[in-house]
């Protein structure tokens, strides 16, 4: 049974600022997406990478994959994405061939995840966990707030969860294929959709196992994250 990685890369990257879609922006002279594809293909466990491209950018993404050196033992597919991350992941999962039994879902926006983290997630699924997330403890204390009722009104704190019990989750998140498919078929999430895939599996009532995440698996979300990513890459290349 094969392990495949689905890479949602269809977002615009609104928080990063206007311009090229986030996944196609350069990091160390190479598109963020290519870094993410290489990070998945670097794992011996992964034999197929499915990239979910911006809806109107599938041809451009195919071109990019052809233009960059990628491991030859891995197959690559490109499909157009959807309006929400959740929809994009579903579209990627729908294209998986029958012999794929384990699926890693990895944000294109996490270009620097180390291969050891990818292997740890894939290994935990192969060892029998239906769903696996890499996670780190939090540095900041987190508050739950009551959203402001009217514009100009301040938010109010309603709770402070115990920080030691909180984790910031990263990707790749790993799944038994059938579990991930069931989550996408049965779990309804409105608005902008689910921000993470394991959350949908939790709603099914299935256990989600945590493995250690990695600092370098951070998500490029805001402009400062791009500064950090450039610095991490420069340190690796030194």
| Residues at the site binding ligand CTP, with contacts judged by CB under 6 A | 8-15, 22-23, 52, 81-85, 88, 107-109, 219, 221
Q: What are the angstrom distances between the C-alpha of 210 and each of 87, 116, 157, 181, 205?
A: 24, 15, 28, 20, 16
Give the binding-site size for Mg ion (rule: CB under 5 A).
1
**Cross-strand partners of 169:** 135
Write the CA distances from 49 to 32, 62, 230, integer angstroms. 15, 12, 24
* Contacted by 86, from Mg ion, ligand CTP, none: CB < 5 to 8 Å by type: none
Minimum CB–partner distance for residue 204 and ligand CTP (Å): 21
> Alpha-carbon distance 205 to 228, whole Å?
37
Q: Which does 13 bind (CB under 5 to 8 A by kind): Mg ion, ligand CTP, none?
A: ligand CTP
Only one residue has tokens 């992941």, namely: 89
**Closest CB to ligand CTP among residues 52, 200:** 52
Tokens representing 15?
Answer: 């928080």
Report in angstroms how near the CB of residue 180 gets to Mg ion at its nearest: 20
Cα–Cα distance for residue pair 158/201, rounded to 1 Å: 27
60 contacts 53 by C-beta, under 8 angstroms: yes
CA 74 to CA 40: how far, in whole Å? 10
Task: Residue 9: name its binding partner from Mg ion, ligand CTP, none (Cβ under 5 to 8 Å by kind).
Answer: ligand CTP
SS3 47: strand
Choices 11-19, 21-29, 122-130, 203-211 (CB under 5 A): range interacting with Mg ion: 11-19
* Residue nearest to Mg ion according to CB distances in the complex: 11
Residue number, 52 or 217, with CB nearest to ligand CTP: 52
Residue 219: name its binding partner from Mg ion, ligand CTP, none (Cβ under 5 to 8 Å by kind). ligand CTP
Query: Nearest approach, Cβ of 13 to Mg ion (angstroms)?
Result: 8
Instruction: List interacting residues with Mg ion (CB under 5 A).
Output: 11
């Amino acid at each position: 049974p094969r392990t495949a990685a689905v890479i949602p890369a269809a977002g615009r990257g609104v928080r990063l600022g206007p311009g090229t879609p986030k996944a196609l922006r350069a990091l160390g002279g190479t598109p963020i997406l290519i870094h993410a594809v290489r990070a998945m293909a670097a794992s011996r466990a992964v034999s197929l990478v499915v990239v979910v491209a911006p809806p109107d950018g599938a041809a451009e993404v195919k071109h990019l994959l052809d233009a960059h050196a990628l491991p030859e033992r891995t197959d690559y597919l490109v499909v157009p994405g959807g309006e929400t991350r959740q929809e994009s992941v579903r579209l990627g999962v729908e294209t998986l061939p029958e012999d794929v039994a384990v699926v890693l879902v990895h944000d294109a926006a996490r270009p620097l995840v180390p291969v050891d983290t990818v292997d740890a997630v894939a290994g935990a699924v192969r060892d029998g966990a239906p769903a696996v997330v890499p996670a780190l403890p939090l540095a900041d204390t987190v508050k739950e707030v009551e959203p402001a009722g009217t514009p100009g009104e301040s938010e109010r704190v309603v709770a402070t969860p115990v920080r030691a019990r909180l984790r910031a989750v990263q990707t790749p998140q790993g799944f038994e294929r059938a579990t991930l498919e069931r989550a996408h078929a049965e779990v309804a999430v409105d608005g902008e959709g689910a921000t993470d895939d394991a959350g949908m599996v939790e709603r099914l009532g299935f256990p989600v196992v945590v493995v250690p995440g990695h600092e370098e698996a951070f998500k490029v979300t805001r402009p400062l994250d791009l500064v950090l990513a450039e610095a991490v890459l420069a340190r690796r290349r030194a």
